[in-house]
Structures are given as structure tokens and as C-alpha cells.
Amino acid sequence: MKTRIVRVGCPAHNCGGRCLLIAHINDGVITQLETDDRPDTTADPQLRACVRGRSYLRRQYHPDRLKYPMKRVGKRGEGKFERISWDEALGTFAGEMQRVKETYGNSAFYIPYGTGGSSQLMGSGTAQRLMNLFGGCLGYYSSYSWGVIEQVTSYIYGTDITGNQRQDWLNSKYILMWSWNPAEMRDGTNSDFLIKCARKNGARVVCIDPRMSMSAVSLADEWVPIRPGTDVAMMSAMAYVMIEEKLYDAGFVSTHCIGFDETRMPPGLEHEESYKDYILGTKDGVPKTPGWAEALTGVPRNTIIRIAREYATIKPGVLYQGYGMQRRAYGEQAVLAGCVLASITGNVGVCGGWASGMAYQADDGGVLWNVFPVGENPVKAMIPSFLWSEAVLRGTEMGPEDGVVGAEKLKTSIKLIWAVACNTLVNQHGNINRTVEFLSDENLIEFITVQDQFLTPTARFADILLPACTQFETWGLEDGWKYGDEVLLMPKLVDPPHETKSDYQICADLAEKLGIGEEYTQGRDARAWIEWCIEEYREARFPDIPTLDELEASNAGVYSVPVTEPAIAFKDFRANPEAFPLRTPSGKIEIFSKALYDMGKPDTAPPVPKYIQEWESPFGPEAERYPLLAMGHHAIQRVHSTHDNNDWLRDAFPQRVIINPIDAQERGISNGDNVKVFNQRGATICPCRVTVRILPGVIDIPQGAWWTPDENGVDRAGSTNVLSSQRWTPWTFSNALHTIMVQIENVEG
């Protein structure tokens, strides 16, 4: 029998990469996955798969895949289900949708943030289209990923398209990887590769991270460990050195920036505290010296001084901001402070430089999200994505002070949830113990439908469970993540097993039940929609992309546009700020933001970036009971919670609490012991790894392990979010899931 070989985009699940796989198919079964074998150039590098893509068949053919629609038979959350027909499942769900609509109105519906399906036709977008046709639902804005950085960047630059095309890193001489770990978390396929190329070209690479991450090991010349949540202190002290030693780019600051010092303040605010005032301590009496920063950050003052000199003088340079440090209490400040350093060193708008911030790719924003048309939501009210739990508990009290837009107050609390490709209902949201308590209460959320491929911690709380097929079992299309120079086709490889269906098909069938089938499908099947999406891509960004028939016939799997002359963000503005002003109120880079000043929250949202002690901090009273900072980084073995049940990845990268020998010894903990990590919100028990690759005083529990409570409610899987909180950042209403204080004890024996 002949093996069929098909080139296909990896299912990805929003892993940060988009890679090419080569599938071998025998008799309706995928038997092997290889990766990209095209010629490899810097302009158009191979899209090489990571360990998750290469071990995907362990997920694809996992015995625990959901096979049939099911309904809950025990108490909500107990995890007891019974097989039912599709007709009953969709009939029940449609009936509940009608009932809730009549009782509370459409704003009682909610489709939570869920990133599992990352191709155009899989995931929550398909459900959103149906909801919009059914009269809409409560909307959300912003993300769990980069809620802070995507909103904050515009305050200083007037746009979030602040990144050069990545091939331009080869023109850099100095690269600061700040809270950035592209060797492990994918931040665009090939970001790690292009950093390697830059280093080979002579760039010095420094990694600033509390953990000696895979990137610190494999990409950097130097690792600078820093206490989590104190980056702004180090950045401020670097600015101090640059000011004292006159190393900053005074010319660029005077022609392109406002708010650096008293000579360039917004009109009417000349006497307010400028950035330089803050750094020198002119008004608050605290100069932000390297000595001051050493006490907060744990980074020796001489290291801070040296890094400041290097970044200010070895030019052009890149200060790349990862998202770890913005998923924290005052994440906004870290984003602003990094952008200010890039600006005052004059690294904006130049070849080999980098403006920092969100860094969507110049000159057009790179990737095209959501090409599949979800349509317009008739319900105008939106909440910040992280605050859905508030909208369940006190929806009608929520207004602009809670980040609500499009309404003065919410009309109702959330009453029906449809979670598609989403584990943020339980596992990926803060404070799991609080969440599961209110999810269990049927008086709050009256109906929950979960649509997934596995019985996840979220799926356990479903009233109706709908089994989705995988991306290999339907048609799809995807392009880059943050950087988008290629489009990957995902042809259907094999049939959906058992009674599973694609998200699109489930929605089409539900639409039929609701009497809006024709409007939903517009007569298209999945393949026809992909054909339609390709034409949208052609119009938006890829004029020469082949048609679907051509792509299929060639079995190329990918269409890419080589980057021979990388685009440089802010090139025009750099050359002529008067002719090409920024879209900020002043038209310049706003080191001092009048918009933030007008917000009137100087303690939490100051107009210039400041170090603010986190609400859970080793310097606060809470440290007496819970002295250790806990982080949960994005690990190689999972995409969030996806792949947690992949046995190969579990074997290769077991879930462990990572702890420094100093902290371990104090607590009588040896490598491999079972330890209990706990705080006021919850506890988890999991084996540990004792290693000097993490700063003393800090532990790490890679995020995403499936919450597995024992009879005492103690998690047994190392699920980070039993420890994190639901508190949000002060002015972007984003999660601060990395800001956690804990204690650890040995539970061995």
C-alpha cells in the first residue's frame, strides 16, 4: 500500500510558532510526522517543528480523546458524564440559548478567551460568528498573553507596530533579551534561530531573567539573574547611569521625544515631574542609583552600570521585551520603562535597532488574525478578557472603573458560557479554588457548554460536552504569530474519529437548530471557507499567493515571502518627525504621557514609568508567611495546558517545582523530593528540582499542568494557578498571573 505524504501546517494551538510538518498517511492513519525540508536561507528560513509538533501523534491518537457528545449526570464539576446523541446535545444547548436569551437578554452569553484552535476555522471564532448571528453576547477585549504590552505601547509610540522585521537583528551589535525566552517559548518560529544568526554576526547577547532559561543557556553570552517584579528598578538605574555619564542620545531625545526633562514637557505641565526628575530624585528625594537598584533587584551595581554603558554605546542595539514581566502586578511600568530606554539611546527607527514594546512587525503589523468573518457583535458592551469572573459574580455592578467599554454598566451577569478551545475557565485563570467554587453554583452561571478534544479541568465543569476533532481532521489555514511572512495550509488529512466534528461543523449544525443555518454557512463547507480565506489573504497582504487548488496540487504546505530587505519600524519618523509624526497626542515619543497624567492615578499609573513595589512582594509584610516569589513560565513540554497528557513530553520534561539549593537546604529539601507549595489561596504537591539555575528566593512551577485536586482539595499536579490571584493590573485590567508569593515545605515520608 502506498504511503500518502502531505505537507501541512502544525496544529500549533497558539503556541507562538507556526511550523511545517510532513505527514505520512497509511490507510487513513497518520503514521509519521517529519518537518520542513525546503532549502534554508536567512531570508526564508525553514519552519522547523519543535518537540510538541514532532510528538503530535501522541496527542492525535491519545486513548482519552473525547469521542461522543455527553451530558453531565453528577454535580457540576464532579466529572461524571453520560453519552448522548448529537441531536440531544445540540437540542439541549439550543434550548438553553433560547431560554437565557428570553430571560436575561443576549448580554448574558459569554464565549471566554480560549486559544486552543489557532487556525482560521477552528476555535472560538467559529462560535463567535454564530453568537453574533444569534443577537450577540458580552464581548471582551485584550488577552491573557500580552494584555499589558499591547495596550501600553500605544501610549508611548501611538502604535503597537514597533518591531523591525526580524532579519534586521543581523544588523544589531548588542541584544538584551529582557524577560524573553524564545529558545523555549516560541515567539514566532525562528526568532531563536535569527538571534543565533545575529550572535554569529558579532552581536553580544545578554539575557535578563530570574531563571537561567533555555535562552540564557543556548542563545546568550551572559545571564543576568534579576528578582522578579523589579525590572523597572534596573531600567531606571540604567537611565541614571546614562544621564550621569551623558551617554544617552541627547539629539534624538530633543528632536523626537517629549517629557524627558523640564525643557520638553507638554504645555501647561512644565512643573510636573519629568522622567529625568524621577531618575535623579529631584522631586521625590530618591536618586535611582545603581546602589538603590541593587537592593531591589539583586543585580550587583557594577553589573547594572556595565549593562547601561554597553547598551548606550554598543550600537545599534535591541532591547527585546518578553511578556513574562508584563504579566505581573505593575506590568505597565516595565513596558514603558523598556520603551524609554530604547528611545533615549536613540535605537528607534534605525537599522539594527529596536523600539521595544509590543513589536508587531513593520511595516504592516505582520500576521492576520481572524480572517474568518465573525461578523459584528450586536451587544456593544465589552469587558477586559481577564475580568470574566467578576462579570459572573457582580456583572451588574461593573462599569468603566472595571474596564467595561461600550456601556455605562453591564445589564446582567454572565449566565451562559460556551467555552470553545478554552481551558481558561479553570486551569489557565487565576485562583482556581475561587473559580471552581463559583462555577459549581448553578444559580450563578446557569449553563456551561464546553467544546474540546479532552476532558480537561474546564471540561469537567460542563453541563454539555461537545467533542471537537483535531486540526488534522478538517481544513485550516494559518499565518505567523507576531511576525507574518508565511501562510500555511492545513488540508484535511484523515476523517474525524468516532462522533467528533470540527468546530466549524458543530457551529453549523447548531446554527441549523437555531434556524440560522444558511446565514452561518453561506452555503460553504470547510474547504470552501479556506478557499475564501486565501482570497482575503491575497487582498490584505499576499498578492501572489497561489489559489487553494494550486496550493493543494503542489503539496507545498506553505507560501512564504522571503525577507531580503527587512522593514524598519519608525524609519520615516526618524528621518523627519515633522512630516511623519507619531499618532500620539504630541506626535512624538511620549516619555511623559499627558493621557496618563489626566487619568489621575499617580500611585499606580504615573505619567512617567516608575518602580512600584508589587502587591505581593518580598519587601512587603506578606513575605513573613510567604517568603518566596513563585513564577510559572511557558514551558517547552506544553502549550499552556495543551499536551499536558502527551506521554512522550511528560517523560522528557516532567512537571517539577524548580528551587535554588539555598532555599531547599533551609527547608530540608533534596532534589526529587515531593514538596508542598502553598499560600493563602491554595496548595500544590509536586516533585522538585533543586538547581542553581534559578535565583535564590524564587521558585518556578511551569504553568499549564492540569489541576488535579485530591480529597483535601490540594492539587497534585503542579498546577500554578491554585496559587495565583484574580487581581488585575491597575490600568490595562490585565492578568498578573506571575505575581505570587508562597512558602514551601517538604512532604516526603
Task: Please state, in angstroms and rounded to a whole number, the distance separating the CA atoms of residues 428 and 718.
Answer: 13
Q: In the Cβ-directed half-sphere of 674, how many Cα atoms lie within 13 Å? A: 10
Mark 270-309 with x for binding to ligand MGD (rule: CB under 6 A) and - for no binding: ----------------------------------------
Nearest approach, Cβ of 651 to ligand SF4 (angstroms)?
18
Closest CA to 4 of 32, 42, 38, 43: 32
Contacts of ligand SF4 in 647-706 (CB under 6 A)? none
Task: Please state, in angstroms and rounded to a whole number, the distance separating the CA atoms of residues 376 and 359.
Answer: 27
Q: Which one of residues 76, 288, 640, 681 is an interface residue with ligand MGD (CB under 6 A)?
A: 640
The site partner of 699 among ligand MGD, Mo ion, ligand SF4, none (C-beta below 5 to 8 Å per kind) is: none
Task: Please state, in angstroms and rounded to a whole number, the distance separating the CA atoms of residues 260 and 270.
Answer: 11
Nearest approach, Cβ of 489 to ligand SF4 (angstroms)?
14
Which residues sit opposite 476 in a β-bridge?
490
Q: 3-class SS at 510? A: helix
| 540 within 8 A of 548, measured Cβ to Cβ | no
Q: Phi and psi for 142 in degrees, rounded to 5?
A: 70, 175
Verify binding: residue 638, ligand MGD, rule CB under 6 A.
Answer: yes
The site partner of 213 among ligand MGD, Mo ion, ligand SF4, none (C-beta below 5 to 8 Å per kind) is: ligand MGD
* Stated length of the chain: 749
Q: Which one of residues 81, 110, 240, 323 is an interface residue with ligand MGD (CB under 6 A)?
A: 323
118: region left, alpha or beta (phi > 0 left; psi from -120 to 50 alpha): alpha
Q: What angle do CA 313, 251, 364 make, to 5 degrees?
A: 85
**Beta-strand runs (E) in 355-405:** 382-384
Q: 3-class SS at 140? A: strand
CA 4 from centroid of its chain's CA atoms: 36
Contacts of ligand MGD in 137-166 (CB under 6 A)? 144-145
Q: In the Cβ-directed half-sphere of 27, how many Cα atoms lie within 13 Å? A: 1
Q: Which one of residues 97, 312, 421, 695 is an interface residue with ligand MGD (CB under 6 A)?
A: 421
| 131 within 8 A of 559, measured Cβ to Cβ | no
Verify binding: residue 428, ligand MGD, rule CB under 6 A.
Answer: yes
Q: 3-class SS at 33? A: strand
| 108 within 8 A of 412, measured Cβ to Cβ | yes
> How many residues at the interface with ligand SF4, by CB under 6 A?
12
Nearer to ligand MGD, 273 or 452 (CB): 452
Nearest approach, Cβ of 634 to Mo ion (angstroms)?
8
Verify binding: residue 179, ligand MGD, rule CB under 6 A.
Answer: yes
Strands 698-700 and 657-659, bridge-based pairing: antiparallel
Task: Please state, in angstroms and rounded to a whole number, the distance separating the CA atoms of residues 323 and 537.
Answer: 28
Q: What cell does 604 get?
A: 499606580
| Cα dihedral sign, 18-531-128-377 | positive
Verify binding: residue 229, ligand MGD, rule CB under 6 A.
Answer: yes
Whose cell is 534554508? That residue is 40
Nearer to ligand MGD, 107 or 191 (CB): 191
Nearest approach, Cβ of 9 to ligand SF4 (angstroms)?
7
Verify binding: residue 476, ligand SF4, rule CB under 6 A.
Answer: no
| N-to-C CA span, the chain | 56
Q: How far is CA 105 from CA 303, 510, 643, in A?
A: 59, 19, 37
Q: What cell does 354 get?
A: 529596536
Nearest approach, Cβ of 7 to ligand SF4 (angstroms)?
13
Contacts of ligand MGD in 500-529 (CB under 6 A)? 503
Nearest approach, Cβ of 501 to ligand MGD (angstroms)?
10
Amino acid present at 474: T
Verify binding: residue 145, Mo ion, rule CB under 5 A.
Answer: yes
Task: Please state, in angstroms and rounded to a whole number, the distance separating the CA atoms of residues 583 and 585.
Answer: 7
The site partner of 209 among ligand MGD, ligand SF4, Mo ion, none (C-beta below 5 to 8 Å per kind) is: ligand MGD
Contacts of 413 (CB under 8 A, 6+ apart): 108, 391, 392, 393, 394, 395, 396, 444
Closest CA to 560 of 489, 665, 463, 471: 489
| Max intra-chain CA distance, the chain | 81
Q: Which one of residues 6, 7, 8, 15 is an interface residue with ligand SF4 (CB under 6 A)?
A: 15
Verify binding: residue 326, Mo ion, rule CB under 5 A.
Answer: no
Verify binding: residue 482, ligand MGD, rule CB under 6 A.
Answer: no
Verify binding: residue 17, ligand SF4, rule CB under 6 A.
Answer: yes
Chain residue whose CB lies nearest Mo ion: 145
Amino acid present at 735: N
Q: 3-class SS at 143? A: coil
Q: Which one of residues 636, 685, 695, 699 is an interface residue with ligand MGD (CB under 6 A)?
A: 636
| Cα dihedral sign, 65-71-74-76 | positive
Nearest approach, Cβ of 300 to ligand MGD (angstroms)?
16
Nearest approach, Cβ of 639 to ligand SF4 (angstroms)?
6
> How many residues at the interface with Mo ion, by CB under 5 A?
1
Verify binding: residue 327, ligand MGD, rule CB under 6 A.
Answer: yes
Contacts of ligand MGD in 702-741 (CB under 6 A)? 703-704, 720-721, 724, 737-738
Chain residue whose CB lies nearest ligand MGD: 116
Verify binding: residue 324, ligand MGD, rule CB under 6 A.
Answer: yes
Nearest approach, Cβ of 231 to ligand MGD (angstroms)?
5
Verify binding: residue 328, ligand MGD, rule CB under 6 A.
Answer: yes
Contacts of ligand MGD in 85-124 (CB under 6 A)? 114-117, 122-123
Verify binding: residue 52, ligand SF4, rule CB under 6 A.
Answer: yes
Q: Which one of residues 6, 8, 23, 49 is an interface residue with ligand SF4 (CB under 6 A)?
A: 49
Nearest approach, Cβ of 659 to ligand MGD (angstroms)?
14
The site partner of 53 among ligand SF4, Mo ion, ligand MGD, none (C-beta below 5 to 8 Å per kind) is: ligand SF4
Contacts of ligand MGD in 19-78 (CB under 6 A)? none
Contacts of ligand MGD in 596-615 (CB under 6 A)? none
CA 725 from centroid of its chain's CA atoms: 17
For ligand MGD, the binding residues (CB under 6 A) are 13-16, 114-117, 122-123, 144-145, 178-181, 184-186, 208-211, 213, 226, 228-229, 231, 322-325, 327-328, 420-424, 427-428, 451-454, 456, 468, 471, 503, 631-636, 638-642, 703-704, 720-721, 724, 737-738
For ligand SF4, the binding residues (CB under 6 A) are 10, 12, 15, 17-19, 49-50, 52-53, 186, 189
For Mo ion, the binding residues (CB under 5 A) are 145
